[in-house]
Copies of this chain bind each other. A is one copy, B any other.
């Protein structure tokens, strides 16, 4: 990227934002478990797999495992896994993953100290302050992806910001992939519900990147979230997606959905043990399918509200579980995924502090992927345009916080300190003027207006300011360059597949 195009991007839609960057956390990870405690949890997970087993609902998965020497499932459908077999199978999981994007500048490096921020995926609803909360539509989805593309701090799209309910369910994944690959040039997750939706994603990414299916195996491009049906089973659509992804050397981010007290025991230790057992069960299957297939250890461990049974997110338990899960994933040598979550129904203080709790848990634990990092609201039922902007501000702040403090003679500024007498100020010194533009973080959303001028301008809260900002970004959106032949080929693919599905 030239310096000029770089600068232009920063000013897209007249919103000043940080440039595209790799976010790196050089701090030591915060550890909430001792080394021994990590081993105790992994041992408990192995014990669960050995003595209780895991239910692979897909017949084909069981056949594959049996061929690899695993004992046939019991009458209750539970497949017991020997711990030595699990340890051996999972020893081939790569610790680092490079994920390609249509624009090579947006390739992602997952692992080490890097953190990748992904926009929200999966809600049924969309909301903004103008039209309120409503079922997602294709038009809204495209607009949402345009804003995601415009926000430099978002590294990856989350596999569909919300369902376009105005499109037929059998083929709407094709419209999603087309939008991801033409309106954006960032990496985008797959909508991996079943075999054909996964294959369509692989095929369309091949077209977009100019790769054959064989070449795709050397160019990891597609990542999908593979949720278990906690407790302790993997359903058929997820099994199919896992198989397709693994065979093609693409990434399965294995994520149990464990709300302690409901899908797992009402303790954090028990939930960690169960979650680890589930990840290992699915990881073992994937490594049997293709040793070395890239996988991630995903955690979505929180608790239910014990009064109402409702999910509780962005809680103290959520933050602690992110930290503890990250430790277990590190010990297993698997890249780790966490999320940015809240149960709030609007982009208010609760949404912000629950998201912060989630983000700090992810970042301090050295999560490699923060799913739902931008836009999530209402426990994941809604993707909010305003929350996306609030989250982008918070993500930018995190990225800035992680940047080292420069310590050198010039920065120590002893001469500048000598220059300003007691009671004076540094506004006009040469030292300050040299740094005028770049010294400190410039926010997207936060105001530093004093109360009087803020009040005069209408006492505009952050959610309302965010509303203005996403519209500015949308108005300033520029479709990223694409070879017309590739775009045509993508359209042809979608049209052909839609006809096939209709017949």
Task: Assess whether A412 is in contact with B40, with CB atoms less than 8 Å apart.
Answer: yes
| Complex Cα gap A378–B449 (Å) | 9
Q: Which residues of B contact A344 (CB under 8 A)?
A: 446-447, 462
Task: Assess whether A462 is in contact with B348, with CB atoms less than 8 Å apart.
Answer: yes
Q: Which residues of B contact A317 (CB under 8 A)?
A: 400, 440-441
Interface members, chain A 420-442 (any B CB < 8 Å): 420-427, 429, 431-432, 435-437, 439-442
| Complex Cα gap A379–B77 (Å) | 61
What is the 8 Å Cβ interface bit string for chain A, positions 343-377, against chain B (1 contact, 0 not)?
11111111111111100100010000000000000
Q: Which residues of B contact A414 (CB under 8 A)?
A: 44, 47-48, 51, 270, 273
Q: Is A265 an interface residue (CB 8 A)?
A: yes
What is the 8 Å Cβ interface bit string for chain A, positions 50-61, against chain B (1 contact, 0 not)?
011011000000
Q: Which residues of B contact A332 (CB under 8 A)?
A: none
Residue of B44, B309, B421 near A412 (CB, 8 A) is B44
| Complex Cα gap A264–B313 (Å) | 40
Instruction: Answer whether A394 and B353 are a contact pair too, CB < 8 Å, given A32-B405, A448-B310.
Output: yes
Q: Which residues of B contact A27 (CB under 8 A)?
A: 30-32
- Using C-beta atoms within 8 Å of the partner chain, give the interface range for chain A: 35 or more
| Complex Cα gap A307–B447 (Å) | 12
What is the 8 Å Cβ interface bit string for chain A, positions 1-43, against chain B (1 contact, 0 not)?
0000000000000000000000000011011110001001100
Copies in the assembly, this chain: 2
Q: Is A476 an interface residue (CB 8 A)?
A: no
Q: Which residues of B contact A469 (CB under 8 A)?
A: none
Report which residue of A47, A349, A382, A404 has the largest number of chain B beta carbons within 10 angstroms of its beta carbon: A349
Q: Is A413 an interface residue (CB 8 A)?
A: yes
Q: Which residues of B contact A407 (CB under 8 A)?
A: 33, 37, 40-41, 269
| Complex Cα gap A232–B413 (Å) | 14
What is the 8 Å Cβ interface bit string for chain A, positions 390-424, against chain B (1 contact, 0 not)?
10011001101101111110111110111011111
| Complex Cα gap A262–B423 (Å) | 10
Interface members, chain A 43-90 (any B CB < 8 Å): 44, 47-48, 51-52, 54-55, 76-78
A438 to chain B, nearest CB (A): 9
Residue of B30, B266, B420 near A439 (CB, 8 A) is B266
Instruction: Answer whether A77 and B404 are a contact pair too, CB < 8 Å, given A397-B353, A462-B349.
Output: no
Task: Assess whether A413 is in contact with B353, with CB atoms less than 8 Å apart.
Answer: no
A38 to chain B, nearest CB (A): 9
What is the 8 Å Cβ interface bit string for chain A, positions 280-310, against chain B (1 contact, 0 not)?
0000000000000000000000011111111
Task: Assess whether A231 is in contact with B349, with CB atoms less than 8 Å apart.
Answer: no
Residue of B40, B263, B351, B449 near A310 (CB, 8 A) is B449
Task: Assess whether A311 is in contact with B448, with CB atoms less than 8 Å apart.
Answer: yes
Q: Is A261 an interface residue (CB 8 A)?
A: yes
Task: Assess whether A266 is in contact with B435, with CB atoms less than 8 Å apart.
Answer: yes
Q: Is A316 an interface residue (CB 8 A)?
A: yes
Interface members, chain A 162-194 (any B CB < 8 Å): none
Task: Assess whether A401 is in contact with B312, with CB atoms less than 8 Å apart.
Answer: no
Q: Which residues of B contact A351 (CB under 8 A)?
A: 349, 352
Q: Is A133 an interface residue (CB 8 A)?
A: yes
Q: Which residues of B contact A448 (CB under 8 A)?
A: 305, 308, 310-312, 343, 379
The closest CB in chain B to the CB of A438 belongs to B306
Q: Which residues of B contact A446 (CB under 8 A)?
A: 343-344, 350, 354
Instruction: Answer whether A426 and B343 are a contact pair too, CB < 8 Å, given A31-B28, A76-B421, A451-B382.
Output: no
Task: Assess whether A33 is in contact with B310, with CB atoms less than 8 Å apart.
Answer: no
Q: Is A229 an interface residue (CB 8 A)?
A: yes
Residue of B263, B270, B306 near A440 (CB, 8 A) is B306
- Interface contacts beyond A40-B412, A350-B462: sample of 13 additional A-B pairs, CB < 8 Å, sorted by A: A41-B407, A48-B417, A77-B422, A133-B451, A231-B426, A232-B417, A265-B413, A266-B436, A273-B414, A307-B442, A316-B400, A353-B390, A382-B451
Of the A-B pairs whose beta carbons lie under 8 Å apart in the complex, a sample of 22, sorted by A's number, is: A27-B30, A28-B30, A32-B404, A32-B405, A33-B405, A33-B407, A231-B417, A260-B439, A263-B425, A264-B417, A265-B429, A269-B405, A273-B413, A315-B441, A316-B400, A345-B459, A346-B459, A346-B461, A352-B352, A353-B353, A353-B390, A356-B360
A-B complex: 6 closest residue pairs judged by Cβ atoms: A270-B413, A316-B400, A356-B356, A233-B422, A352-B352, A265-B413
